[in-house]
Amino acid sequence: MQEQEFQKGKEYIVARDVKGLKDMINSGFDVDAISVVEHYSLMQYFLMFSQNFERKVVGQVLYDSSKQNFTSKDLLFMGFILLNKSIIFQSIKSTNINNDIGCNIKLQNCHNWVKGTSSELQNFWNDIMPDLNIQCFSNLELLELGVRIKNLDLVRSCAEIQIKNCNSLNTPLNIRGDVLLHIPAGMGCTEVAAILIDLGADINISNRYKWTPLHFATRYGHTETVRFLVNRRADLALKTTDQSTALDIAIKHNLGDIVLIINTRE
């Protein structure tokens, strides 16, 4: 019976049926009960598919119903889902390990919570940054976080340290080979891109699929970032592994303004 309820809970989450999920929990179902078959709790399933529904609404239901059973790691997740500073630091306090906040956030891949351009998420990160034990992060991790949350002071200070220590801002960040400059290009954050380039980031750097910052900015339709990169003499002829230039991508996705910018560069 528990497995059937677990499956029903997943259906409620995918269908965004908050009332059904709440009714099931109120009837006595344990949110943290582990599925015999899938080895995932309902909360873990929720976190895996958090982009499929209103994360904060369903997150509040799960938190209110089962917070007494949460591990410190669960609480950390919930703090970022609900953008609740007190929950995050409740998680830190419950560990009784001074440096655990940094270790936990890295384990949870904290940057997932700031991908995209949500000003609410970015402002939240900037609000909690002074209280984090930043010694738990490498300089490159802090630099990446600064880029993602558009914290210009953090970007400048960490970039200068990175250059001093490694003489490069072009270190790959993931298995795709993306580097720092790919992030603001894909987010449309021209100001951060400008700082990185002025400090020595390679404007034409490519990942393992040969995508440059210009390809990223074009694909996601960030017109002003494309304009900036084009004016800074990004190479318009570079092709991805599927032989697409930035112009090809703009045409494919009907991005007329970007097509005009690329075609009219002097």
Each residue of 152-184: pLDDT tens digit? 888 998 899 888 888 889 988 878 888 989 988
Q: Which residue has the higher pLDDT, 16 or 223?
A: 223
What average pLDDT does the structure give for the chain? 77
Average pLDDT of span 21-33: 69
Taking 90 as the threshold, does the pLDDT of residue 266 lie above it? no
**Rounded to whole angstroms, how far apart are CA atoms 32 and 35?**
9
Whether this prediction's pTM lies above 0.75 is answered by no
pLDDT computed for residue 125 by the predictor: 73
**How far is Cα 43 from Cα 155, in angstroms, rounded to an integer?**
34
Asked if residue 52 has pLDDT above 50, the reply is no
Q: 158 with 146: CB under 8 angstroms? A: yes
Please tell me the chain's helix, strand, coil percentages from 3-state DSSP, rounded to the nearest 5: 65, 0, 35
Rounded average pLDDT over 110-115: 46
Measuring CA to CA, which residue among 106, 102, 24, 112 is closest to residue 62? 24
pLDDT-derived band at 71, boundaries 50, 70, 90: low
The confidence band for 140, taking pLDDT boundaries of 50, 70 and 90, is confident
Give the span between the Cα atoms of 3 and 1, in whole angstroms.
Answer: 5
| Averaged pLDDT for residues 46-55 | 55
Q: Please say if the pLDDT value at position 134 is more than 70.
A: no
Residue in this structure with the two tokens 């998680």, named with its chain if needed? 91
- For residues 181 and 52, the model is more confident at 181
